C-alpha cells in the first residue's frame, strides 16, 4: 500500500555544515535523501520507515570529480551520468564507466548518486564490486571530523555499514595507476537493460610474464554484502597462467572462491546458480589472461 506522504518530513539544509550539525544534534533520527532512486521506491510501496529525511541532492560541495597524480576523487553526490561523462574516469577507470552505464536507465542515472549506491548497501549494487577491485578508500565526514577507511572495510553485514549515525559519506577515492593491470567486469542479470544483478564480478590483475603478481576481485550478490574475494585472491597470487598451468590455477581459484561464496535464494536467482556462475566468471577472467 502506498505511504501517506503527509507523514514524512523532508527539509533541505542550506549547506553541508548545516546537514552535519543536524546529524550531530539527533544522531540516527534523520535519513539522507540524495537522488531518491531507492528511498522514493520504498515510499511508493509503503516500505519507508524513516520519517525524517534531509535532502542533500542540492549540495554542490558533494558533486565533483577531482583528479590528482595518484587518484580520482569522486564526491558522494556525483550522479552516474556525471561519471559516464567524465573523460578521466573513462580513461583511467574503465570498469567504473562500464558499471555506471548499466546502473539503471538514463533517467535513473540522471538522479542516482555514487554515494547513494554505496550507502544503500545492497549486496547486488553495481558500483561496489568495481570499487573493491580498484582498492578504493572512502572518506566519512561528521561534525567531529573526517576519517578515511578502505572501502573493503565499509560493508559490515547485510545493509550494515561503518557509517556512524552522525556521519555522511563525502568522497570516494580510487587509485589511478591501474593502467598496467588487466581489467574485467561482467554482470549477469535477467536482461541487458536495467536489471538487478543475479551475480557480478569485477577484477583487476597484474601479470609478471605468466605469473599473476597482483589481483583484486570484487563481487556482488555473492554474500550478504558487496565483498572482496580474498580467498580466491590468495589462491591466485603468484600462480602461473600459461597454457600448461591454467587448468590447475583455475581449479584452485574456483575451489577457493567456493569457500567464500555464501549467496542466497531469492526472487532473482538461486544460491546454487549464483555460486556456479561466480566461478564461471572468475574462470572466464583467468582464461582471458592466459591467451
Partner 1 sequence: MSLIHLTINGNKQTLDVPPMKRLLDVLREDLHLTGTKEGCGEGECGACAVLLDGDLVNSCLVPALQTNGTKITTIEGLSTTPTSGTDPLLPIPCSLLPALHPIQQCFLERGGAQCGICTPGMILATHHLLDKYPNPTMEQIQEGLAGNLCRCTGYMRIFESVQQAAQQLVVIP
Enumerate binding residues for partner 1 (CB under 8 A).
2, 5-6, 8-12, 33, 35-37, 40-41, 43-45, 53, 55, 57-58, 81, 104-108, 110-111, 192-194
CB of 119 to partner 1, least distance (A): 17
Beta carbon of residue 263, minimum distance to partner 1 (angstroms, whole number): 23
Question: Among residues 13 and 75, whose Cβ is nearest to partner 1?
Answer: 13
Nearest to 184 by CA among 245, 232, 251: 232
The answer to whether 134 touches 127, Cβ cutoff 8 Å, is: no
Residue 65 or residue 195: which is nearer to partner 1 going by CB?
A: 195
Contact 102, 95 (CB under 8 A): no
CB of 84 to partner 1, least distance (A): 11
Judged by beta carbon, residue 44 or residue 66, the one nearer partner 1 is 44
> Looking at beta carbons only, is 198 or 228 nearer to partner 1?
198
Half-sphere exposure of 169 (CA within 13 A, CB side): 31
Cβ atoms of residues 263 and 250 within 8 Å: no
CB atoms within 10 A of CB 48: 19
Pairing of strands 199-208, 182-188: antiparallel
CB of 104 to partner 1, least distance (A): 7
Q: Are residues 241 and 212 in contact, defined by beta-carbon separation less than 8 angstroms?
A: yes
Shortest CB 13 distance to partner 1, Å:
12
Q: Which of 51/262 has CB closer to partner 1?
A: 51
Amino acid at each position: 500500500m502506498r505511504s501517506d506522504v503527509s507523514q514524512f518530513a523532508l527539509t533541505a539544509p542550506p549547506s553541508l555544515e548545516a546537514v552535519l550539525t543536524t546529524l550531530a544534534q539527533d544522531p540516527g533520527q534523520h535519513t539522507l535523501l540524495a537522488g531518491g532512486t531507492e528511498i522514493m521506491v520504498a515510499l511508493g510501496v509503503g516500505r519507508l520507515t524513516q520519517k525524517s529525511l534531509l535532502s542533500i541532492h542540492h549540495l554542490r560541495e558533494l558533486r565533483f570529480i577531482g583528479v590528482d597524480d595518484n587518484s580520482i576523487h569522486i564526491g558522494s553526490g556525483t550522479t552516474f551520468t556525471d561519471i559516464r561523462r567524465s573523460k578521466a574516469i573513462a580513461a583511467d577507470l574503465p570498469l567504473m564507466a562500464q558499471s555506471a552505464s548499466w546502473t539503471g536507465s538514463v533517467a535513473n542515472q540522471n538522479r542516482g548518486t555514487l554515494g547513494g549506491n554505496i550507502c544503500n548497501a545492497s549486496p547486488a549494487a553495481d558500483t561496489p564490486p568495481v570499487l573493491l577491485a580498484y582498492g578504493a578508500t572512502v572518506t566519512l565526514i561528521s561534525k567531529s571530523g573526517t576519517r578515511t577507511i578502505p572501502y573493503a572495510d565499509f560493508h559490515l553485514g547485510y545493509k550494515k555499514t561503518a557509517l556512524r549515525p552522525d556521519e555522511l559519506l563525502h568522497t570516494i577515492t580510487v587509485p589511478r595507476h591501474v593502467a598496467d593491470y588487466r581489467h574485467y567486469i561482467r554482470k549477469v542479470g535477467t536482461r541487458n537493460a536495467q536489471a538487478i544483478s543475479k551475480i557480478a564480478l569485477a577484477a583487476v590483475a597484474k601479470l609478471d610474464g605468466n605469473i599473476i603478481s597482483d589481483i583484486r576481485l570484487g563481487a556482488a550478490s555473492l554474500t550478504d554484502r558487496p565483498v572482496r574475494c580474498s580467498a580466491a585472491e590468495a589462491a591466485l597470487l603468484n600462480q602461473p597462467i600459461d597454457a600448461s598451468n591454467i587448468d590447475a590455477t583455475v581449479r584452485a581459484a574456483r575451489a577457493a572462491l567456493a569457500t567464500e561464496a555464501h549467496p542466497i535464494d531469492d526472487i532473482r536467482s538461486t544460491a546454487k546458480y549464483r555460486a556456479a556462475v561466480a566461478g564461471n566468471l572468475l574462470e572466464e577472467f583467468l582464461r582471458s589472461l592466459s591467451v
